[in-house]
């Protein structure tokens, strides 16, 4: 094997006690149960509103009435999902603590596409149903909807904005956009939801026929809007002012990386844990409003945090020009890829590119015997490697075994391996590095497709699925 091995031993660091880890798991389960209950309860209310309005009987009636009632239920479900799509990304503590950022990211994407397709079905069914009922062609009926019904011009504008967001969120289209451009376009989804939902509250039969339904939907819409204002704007602004975080130093990290150190007041009150990330905004000029998620690259201290990033676009390139003293606005901490997930005595940490940052932070803070932690790093070239200094210290003082797998991607076999290791089966290599999988917790961080390929080989190598921990930051 051509990977580089650095291995020395040293005293184990003090770590979070198992009792505290168990307590946090129990708390997370409580939050998860509460979040799931809220979602199911409100979803059942939507169905109950439709049933109480004669939805089942209308389905059996046939003709225009069937089309119209199916249009109503798809509209109700779509509206509910649209509002939950916004709530899921509004940093509401109930969902952040109940589901975790990785699960929320996946849910946001799935809920977004389902709400959009149901919205289109809702429009099509009602246009055809009303056209059949009135004896006119569907295009004429669509025109009447837009111009003659209250709120429909707003709904049309909102639908067009949602189309824009969905089209640019398709993976193939998104890969062609710069992150900053995609993020700006994605924010129009908030405006699209805000414009699309009110027409239902003004004219929808299921909204105006029952005072209870009217109160329910207006309340849900108001809670969603308030959550965005409070948790996406108010809380980050308050915390940023309170902790007065500023850039203390900026250092190059490898050929294409940068490490930024930050200081502030009473940062221990944030209760940030290694493995978590923040969304950062640096007040250094135009474009500061675009937030970027970066993991902690070192175990946090009472007054200092550290992040490390690969320079891949305008957002990360700006990090290299930050001046000491630059003020920082932040959201977080977020993420559940922390040491409390551990169930074994050994650690296998596998990161690609900037994904090594949270793994280093975890290795600095977790307890393990010398030789019981292995760090496997994947980069395209040796010079791209990040955090070489901290990794060398971990090898020297904590006995971490450090392997590098650098070089161009292999064309066949395990897609997460470089061409230099194409002769290896991924599962065999993993068993070679960690010969007793049952003793290990595995932490992964890197691009989604890379982690998917790696996860498949981990399963084949015998690592328990509930001991494989990963987290995604983007939608």
> Which CATH number goes with the domain that contains 376?
3.40.50.80
Claim to verify: residue 231 and residue 252 sit in the same structural domain = no
Angle between helices 63-88 and 18-52 (to 10 degrees): 160
Find out whether 350 and 444 touch, Cβ atoms under 8 Å.
yes
The number of residues in the chain equals: 475
| Containing structural domain, residue 388 | 339-470
- Does some domain include residue 5? no
Q: Nearest to residue 469, comparing CAs of 309, 327, 367, 348?
A: 348
Q: Give the pLDDT band (50/70/90) at residue 47.
A: confident
The answer, yes or no, to whether the previous bond of 333 is cis (omega within 30 of 0) is: yes
C-alpha–C-alpha distance, residues 235 and 306, integer Å: 22
C-alpha–C-alpha distance, residues 10 and 369, integer Å: 9
pLDDT at position 4 is 37
Claim to verify: residue 234 and residue 246 sit in the same structural domain = no
Decide if pLDDT at 365 tops 90: yes
Of the residues 208, 238, 268, the one at which a domain ends: 238
Find out whether 9 and 399 touch, Cβ atoms under 8 Å.
yes
pLDDT at position 399 is 94
What token pair was written down for 10?
Answer: 């040293």
Claim to verify: residue 282 and residue 152 sit in the same structural domain = no
User: Tens digits of per-residue pLDDT, 293-312?
Assistant: 899 999 998 889 999 999 88
pLDDT at position 205 is 60
CB atoms near residue 386 (< 10 Å) = 27
- What CA–CA distances, in Å, run from 172 to 167, 177, 200, 289? 10, 9, 33, 26
C-alpha–C-alpha distance, residues 457 and 434, integer Å: 13
C-alpha–C-alpha distance, residues 448 and 334, integer Å: 18
Residue with the bigger pLDDT between 146 and 20: it is 146
Within 89-210, where are the H helices? Answer: 93-99, 101-134, 138-148, 152-169, 171-174, 179-196, 198-203, 205-208
Claim to verify: residue 215 and residue 77 sit in the same structural domain = yes
Of the residues 303, 334, 365, the one at which a domain ends: 334
pLDDT at position 460 is 94
Q: Give the pLDDT band (50/70/90) at residue 220.
A: confident
């Amino acid at each position: 094997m051509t990977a580089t091995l650095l291995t020395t031993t040293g005293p184990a660091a003090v770590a979070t006690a198992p009792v505290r880890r168990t307590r946090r798991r129990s708390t997370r389960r409580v939050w998860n149960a509460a979040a799931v209950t809220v979602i199911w309860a409100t979803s059942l209310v939507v169905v109950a509103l439709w049933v109480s309005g004669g939805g089942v009987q209308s389905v059996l009636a046939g003709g225009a009435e069937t089309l119209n009632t199916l249009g109503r239920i798809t509209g109700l479900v779509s509206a509910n999902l649209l509002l939950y799509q916004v709530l899921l990304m509004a940093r509401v503590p109930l969902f952040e603590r109940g589901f975790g950022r990785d699960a929320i990211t996946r849910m946001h994407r799935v809920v977004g596409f389902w709400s959009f397709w149901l919205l289109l079905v809702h429009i099509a069914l009602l246009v055809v149903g009303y056209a059949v009922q009135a004896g006119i062609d569907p295009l004429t009926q669509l025109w009447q909807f837009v111009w003659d019904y209250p709120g429909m011009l707003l709904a049309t504008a909102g639908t067009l904005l949602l189309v824009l967001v969905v089209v640019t969120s398709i993976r193939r289209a998104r890969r062609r956009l710069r992150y900053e451009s995609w993020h700006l376009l994605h924010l129009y989804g908030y405006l699209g939801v805000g414009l699309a939902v009110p027409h239902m509250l003004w004219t929808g039969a299921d909204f105006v026929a029952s005072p209870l339904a009217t109160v329910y939907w207006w309340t849900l819409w108001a809670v969603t809007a308030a959550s965005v204002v409070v948790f996406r704007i108010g809380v980050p602004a308050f915390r940023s002012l309170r902790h007065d975080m500023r850039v203390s130093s900026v250092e190059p990290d490898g050929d294409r990386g940068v490490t930024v150190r930050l200081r502030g007041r009473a940062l221990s009150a944030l209760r940030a844990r290694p493995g978590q990330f923040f969304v950062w905004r640096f007040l250094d000029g135009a474009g500061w409003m675009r937030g970027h998620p970066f993991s902690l690259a070192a175990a946090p201290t009472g007054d200092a945090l550290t992040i490390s990033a690969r320079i891949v676009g305008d957002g990360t390139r700006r990090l290299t020009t930050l001046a000491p003293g630059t003020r920082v606005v932040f959201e977080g901490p977020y993420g559940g890829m922390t040491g409390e997930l551990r169930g074994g005595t050994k650690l296998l940490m596998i990161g690609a590119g900037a994904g090594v940052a949270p793994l280093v932070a975890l290795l600095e803070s977790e307890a393990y015997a010398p030789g019981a932690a292995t760090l496997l790093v994947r980069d395209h070239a040796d010079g791209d490697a990040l955090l070489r200094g901290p990794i060398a210290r971990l090898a020297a003082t904590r006995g971490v075994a450090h392997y590098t797998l650098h070089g161009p991607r292999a064309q066949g076999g395990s897609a997460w391996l470089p061409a230099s290791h194409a002769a290896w089966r991924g599962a065999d290599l993993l068993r070679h590095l960690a010969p007793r999988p049952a003793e290990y917790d595995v932490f992964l961080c890197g691009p989604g497709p890379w982690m998917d390929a790696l996860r498949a080989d981990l399963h084949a190598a015998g690592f328990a699925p509930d001991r494989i921990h990963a987290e995604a930051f983007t939608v």
